[in-house]
Amino acid sequence: MPKRRPRLLYLAFYFPPSRASGIHRARATANRLADQGWDVTVFAAPLPFLYDTIGSVDEKLMRTIDPRIAVVRPELNRYTWQTDLRDFSGFRGRFPHLAHSAYLWGQKHIFPERYLSWARASVNRALRMHARRRFDVVLATGNPFASFGAAWLFHRLTRTPYVIDYRDSWTLDQFNEKPRFDDEHGSWRWESRVLKSAANSVFVNEAQRTWHAERYPEVADRMMIVMNGWDADTLPDTPEPPPAARARSGERGLRFTFIGTITAEQPIEQMVEGFGRAREHPEMAGAGLDLYGYFGFFKGAAGPLRGRFGGPSGDQDGQDEQALAPGVSYCGPLSKTELADVYRDSDVLVFLNGGGRYVTSGKIFEYMAAGRPIVSVHAPGSAAEELLRDYPLWFNPGGLDPADIASSMVAAAKAAAGLDQRQVDEARAYAERFERTVALEPLVRRLAELTTRKRASLDDHARR
């Protein structure tokens, strides 16, 4: 009789075609487990929410999901996102005050997050599936943290072990480095409850783990670090030296590139001023800074963010190249499936990042794997600095002074012009330790251990 494959329930609300922060970690985790022979079922956001409510999708990402993965999309009550009366339910339309009171009661007495209805629907759906064929273990990723609550309740009802993955912090404001809620907020009680019952909690860096370990010392021994990483299926296996080093002068000036989502937390003005000063240097004649990605994660974010570049702030997420400041061009959204070509044609990568010691951007791993000079534009103390310190092509201004940023950009430009294959290979060799399958190995191993233990327990019970 063939051995039954280990079966995982993965509670990952933001999953392709969503383009929200952190979905690449969820995508890679599900794909890796499926490739390792797991039977993976992902519970994700309903498509109408992604397309119609928040308008945040990358359809090409769907092609990168292992076809063996089952994706289920439990329902979500979009109460707080609805602004059009025509979208209201009959009950809300007739009794708006009663509907609002019921919503607030659920937030206070059941779970303090507006994704509560999705968590409830997920547990109901999971119980029906579990009755037909058991799940061995549950993995939940946040945000939203209703996924943690769903994992806890499913565990209470079925005794199925669960692991929670803090790709973001729940009660810690990672950018301001202080608690997100007041002491009486229900999130504190729920976080304590979820952590106490979890087989493990997973964090993306040591600073994040330490903060939670100090607040919840009774479960610190079950906390582990699983860093982000870069994905081999979206980057070239053997990067070449940049165009500037391949004697392509005459075609264009040096190309500086930023790839990622532009957010309110990033030091945009300092980057623009620093680049403007750098262009005054003879080595930077004709240089351009190309920005690939989205303005924010949701509808309506583009206008204010575009305005911070000093140019027009029209609220448009256009696909065509648009000038944002002298030498700075917005090149539109970029699917993860198109990364390789852009990295290959870049001379220098600009790591524009918000946040400090608790924030490790997943993009920095791709940057290193591309084998290009990297210029940091972020406040001192960023968690990414620990990773970049031994990267051989890192240019660190040491802060956000535009003059220092300009100097680092000029130095990086000179390095790009003289870069040879040996240097590129050395940079890539350093990045190899952060390839996603390597980074995920501790989590995969732990899930397998929990599955083995769970099955052994069931077998012992059956023999009795």
Residue bearing tokens 């532009």: 262
Residue bearing tokens 């809620």: 181
String of DSSP letters for 182-245: -TT-HHHHHHHHHHHH-SEEEESSHHHHHHHHHH-GGGGGGEEE----B-GGGS-SSPPPPGGG
| CATH numeric code, 7-76+115-228+436-463 | 3.40.50.2000
Check residue 338 and give its pLDDT. 83
What size, in residues, is the chain?
A: 464
The backbone torsions φ and ψ at residue 449, rounded to the nearest 5 degrees and listed phi first, read -60, -45
In sequence order, the 6+-apart residues with CB closer than 8 A to the CB of 307 are 313
pLDDT tens per residue across span 12-69? 999 999 988 789 999 999 999 999 999 999 999 999 999 999 888 888 889 999 999 9
Q: What is the pTM of this model?
A: 0.89
Check residue 351 and give its pLDDT. 96
* Fold of the domain built from segment(s) 232-434: Rossmann fold (3.40.50)
**pLDDT confidence of 433, banded at 50, 70, 90?**
very high
- The arithmetic mean of pLDDT across residues 172-199, rounded, is 95
Q: Do domains 7-76+115-228+436-463 and 232-434 have the same CATH topology?
A: yes
Q: Looking at residue 79, what DSSP letter applies? A: G
Supply the mean pLDDT for the chain: 89
d(CA 347, CA 289) in angstroms, rounded, equals: 10
Question: In the β-sheet with 322-325, what is the strand arrangement from edge to edge?
Answer: 322-325, 328-330, 288-292, 255-259, 348-352, 374-377, 394-395
Our measurement of the distance from residue 2's CA atom to the centroid of its chain's CA atoms, rounded to an integer in Å, reads: 37
In sequence order, the 6+-apart residues with CB closer than 8 A to the CB of 151 are 11, 138, 139, 140, 162, 164, 194, 198
pLDDT tens per residue across span 123-163? 999 999 999 999 999 999 999 999 999 999 999 999 999 99
Q: Looking at residue 310, what DSSP letter applies? A: T
Domain assignments of the chain as residue spans, ordered by start: 7-76+115-228+436-463, 232-434
Which of 408, 427, 318 is closest to 364 using CA atoms? 427
